[in-house]
């Protein structure tokens, strides 16, 4: 017997299928399907399900509604190679909330993507079919290159005009993406916009931003933690995680190249980076307006990480700056961040409270031509 379909699933299915057909027939057409001009993006990651609903305004967009839920979709994946029943159940509940919000707002321009956990799990395609059957939502499992590209374009507004060499780092739950971009051949005023044009592909604008190299390391905050969960000593586990992550960067060409620090910028996008920034600022309650765009030095980051180690597992669990959803994963994320700072020390790491969802929105809106072709605000 087929499972009972949720209220509104037929309407949801119609909207999603119309959206997919619309994109396939004319990917550059404006969003004529919805009277409000609203767009939705869902990032189904290894650890969390996140959604944004937004409306284009000027060269950027304004968020109308959002949702984020820790679902731990990748729990147990390292050992079994499969998505677990409980993990899929939590994820399905979160996706139903996304479905209801999209229906409430009347959104018809949308894209849902899944990343590393679903790329690796043997039963992920079966789960995607179940999601579509029970909710009407079409979730795409995207390749690592597209995930990296979406993370890059989400950070376009944070690119400094003086930046000639840019490293964008996205620390996820199941993987970490690094993209090195040469902006030296782009006029300073066009550098943020040239990053946005990469939504068409890493090599789509030969006269603009040049992607020197990119890598997707299959180690994120959840998967790296799982690799070393048998190491009991907190400090030893942290050190092992950091050096192990660095070893996995050997094939990334800028790893061995000596880069001049003048005109060099790192943008870090992830819960790890924003949590470290919030801890540095001493925020007992998270404030995105204070975190997004903050610049930190390697020494400031290292000071926060040393404080985390001094706190120990129990101290981190009760620290309000870290949060209950983040305390078990913060040290694996910090180990990745420390490795990056060890390789590329900088006084200009820009903290980005943005990522795949924003990248998905920018990509859809840019393809539709609804963003003004002016400077970022």
pLDDT reading at 28 higher than 50? no
Q: Give the pLDDT confidence of 92-127 residue by residue, as tens digits.
A: 999 999 999 999 999 989 999 999 999 999 999 999
Pair 178, 276 in one domain: yes
The number of folded domains in the chain is: 2
217 occurs within a structural domain: yes
Same domain, 137 and 152: no
Q: Is residue 372 part of a domain?
A: no
State whether 157 and 126 are in the same domain. Answer: no
Do 205 and 298 fall within a single domain?
A: yes
Alpha helices in 136-189 (DSSP H): 144-154
Residue 77, domain extent = 9-142
Q: Say if residue 40's pLDDT is above 60.
A: yes
Spatial separation of the C-alpha atoms in residues 157 and 264, rounded to whole Å: 16
Question: Which distant-in-sequence residues (6+ apart) come within 8 Å of 287 by Cβ?
Answer: 278
Statement: residue 186 has pLDDT above 50: yes
> What average pLDDT does the segment 191-199 reach?
89
The answer to whether residues 208 and 334 belong to one domain is yes
Q: Is residue 158 part of a domain?
A: yes
Is residue 199 domain-shared with residue 346, that is, in the same domain? yes
Least confident of 260-264, 318-322, 372-376: 372-376
**Cα separation, 20 vs 146, whole angstroms:** 18
Same domain, 111 and 203: no
**Distance from C-alpha of 174 to C-alpha of 141, rounded to nearest angstrom:** 14
Out of 142, 164, 196, a domain closes at 142
What is the per-residue DSSP string for 238-273? Answer: HHHHHHHHHHTTTTSGGGTS---STTEEEEEESHHH
Q: Tell me the mean pLDDT in the region 213-225.
A: 95
- Is 2 a domain residue? no
Instruction: For residue 93, give the CATH number of its domain.
Output: 3.30.420.40
**What pTM does this model have?**
0.84
Whether 157 and 136 share a structural domain: no
- Where residue 248 sits, what CATH number does that domain have? 3.30.420.150
Q: Quick check: is 269 in a domain? A: yes
Would you say residue 17 has pLDDT above 80?
A: no
Question: Is the residue at 30 inside a domain?
Answer: yes
Strands (E), the chain: 39-44, 48-57, 60-70, 109-114, 139-141, 165-171, 176-182, 210-217, 264-269, 295-296, 349-352
Range in 12-26, 95-109, 206-220, 242-256 the model is least confident about: 12-26
Q: Decide which of 142, 169, 193 is a domain's last residue.
A: 142
Is residue 3 very low, low, confident or very high in pLDDT (cuts 50, 70, 90)? very low
Residue 38 C-alpha from the chain's centroid: 21
Where residue 258 falls among pLDDT bands split at 50, 70, 90?
Answer: low
Last residue of a domain, one of 78, 112, 142: 142
The secondary structure of residue 62, as a DSSP letter, is E
The pLDDT-based confidence of 347 (bands split at 50, 70, 90) is confident
Co-location of 207 and 321 in the same domain: yes
Q: Which two tokens stand for residue 194?
A: 């040239």
**DSSP assignment, residue 118?**
H
Mean pLDDT of 22-41: 54
Q: Would you say residue 199 lies in a domain?
A: yes
Question: With contact defined as beta carbons under 8 Å apart, do 137 and 99 qualify?
Answer: yes
The predicted pLDDT at position 91 comes to: 97
Give all strands of the β-sheet with 295-296 in edge-to-edge order: 210-217, 176-182, 165-171, 264-269, 349-352, 295-296
> Do both 199 and 331 map to the same domain?
yes
Residues 175 and 281 occupy one common structural domain: yes
Instruction: Answer yes or no: do 260 and 126 share one domain.
Output: no
Give domain status of residue 268, yes or no: yes
Nearest Cα to Cα of residue 113 among 195, 199, 197, 50? 50
| Structure token pair of residue 282 | 């001493």
Per-residue confidence at 325, pLDDT binned at 50, 70, 90? confident
Kindly report which listed range (237-251, 257-271, 337-351) carries the lowest average pLDDT score.
Answer: 257-271
């Amino acid at each position: 017997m087929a499972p009972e379909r949720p209220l509104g699933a037929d309407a949801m299915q119609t909207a999603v299928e119309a959206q997919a057909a619309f994109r396939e027939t004319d990917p550059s057409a404006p969003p004529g399907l919805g009277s409000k001009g609203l767009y939705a993006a869902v990032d189904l990651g290894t650890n969390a399900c996140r959604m944004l609903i937004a409306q284009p305004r000027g060269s950027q967009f304004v968020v109308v509604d959002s949702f984020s839920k820790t679902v731990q979709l990748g729990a147990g994946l390292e050992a079994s190679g499969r998505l677990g029943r409980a993990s899929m159940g939590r994820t399905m509940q979160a996706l139903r909330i996304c479905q209801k919000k999209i229906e409430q707002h009347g959104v018809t321009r949308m894209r849902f993507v899944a990343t590393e956990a679903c790329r690796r799990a043997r039963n992920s395609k079966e789960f995607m079919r179940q999601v579509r059957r029970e909710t009407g939502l079409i979730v795409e499992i995207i390749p690592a290159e597209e995930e990296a590209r979406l993370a890059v374009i989400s950070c376009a507004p944070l690119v400094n005009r003086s930046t000639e060499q840019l490293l964008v780092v996205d620390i996820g739950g199941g993987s970490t993406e690094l993209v090195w971009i040469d902006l030296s051949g782009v006029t300073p005023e066009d550098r943020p916009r040239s990053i946005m044009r990469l939504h068409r592909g890493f090599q789509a604008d030969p006269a603009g931003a040049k992607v020197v190299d990119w890598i997707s390391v299959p180690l994120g905050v959840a998967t790296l933690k799982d690799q070393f969960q048998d190491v009991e000593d907190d400090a030893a586990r942290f050190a092992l995680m950091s050096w192990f992550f660095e070893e996995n960067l050997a094939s990334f060409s800028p790893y061995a190249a000596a880069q001049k620090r003048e005109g060099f910028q790192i943008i870090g996008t992830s819960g790890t980076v924003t949590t470290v920034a919030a801890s540095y600022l001493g925020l007992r309650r998270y404030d995105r307006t204070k975190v997004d765009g903050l610049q930190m030095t390697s020494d400031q980051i290292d000071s926060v990480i040393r404080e985390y180690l001094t706190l120990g597992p129990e101290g981190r669990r009760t620290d309000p700056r870290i949060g209950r959803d983040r305390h078990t994963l913060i040290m694996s994320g910090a180990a990745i961040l420390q490795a990056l700072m060890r390789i590329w020390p900088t006084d200009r790491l820009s903290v980005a409270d943005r990522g795949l969802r924003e990248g998905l929105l920018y990509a859809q809106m840019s393809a539709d031509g609804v963003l003004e072709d002016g400077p970022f605000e």
